[in-house]
Amino acid sequence: MNIKKKIPNEEWLERIQVFLSGNTGRKVNIAAGGLTIVENQVLRDIDYDPFGKGNNMTLTLGYSEDLFIHIISAPTELILHEENNGAVSTLEIIDRNGDVTYLRLFN
């Protein structure tokens, strides 16, 4: 069973840092617009510039010689998908247009 937890905007920076501390270096997929846009890449960083400071979320995958960067402009919702044991399996990011990006972790 998958549990969804919508994170209040004021907690995004802290929750992203906690997520990164346990998942940097893990293999991930990114899906957006109903398509998988990158598969089996190493999670390197997630950077969030809040509204008034850029209002973007940047997902960085791979290594310096093979870097992949995906930018979500004007994110409005951050939702954590958790397994029954509390482990996060997916980050769901929704932008101001309602477009959804999924960052899925491999087990």
- Encode the chain (107 residues) as per-residue pLDDT tens digits: 589 999 999 999 999 999 999 999 999 999 999 999 999 999 999 999 987 787 999 999 998 788 999 999 999 999 999 988 888 899 999 999 999 999 999 86
Sheet containing 100-105: order of strands = 3-7, 75-82, 88-95, 100-105, 27-32, 35-49, 56-63, 66-73
> What is the total count of domains within the chain?
1
Is the whole-model pTM more than 0.85?
Answer: yes
CATH number at residue 36: 2.30.29
4: helix, coil or strand? strand
Which pLDDT score, from 0 to 100, does residue 103 have?
97
Chain centroid, CA 26 distance in Å: 13
State which residues form the domain around 47. Answer: 3-105
For 2, 35, 36, 45, 47, the CA distances from 5, given in Å and listed in that order, are 10, 23, 23, 21, 20
d(CA 101, CA 75): 10
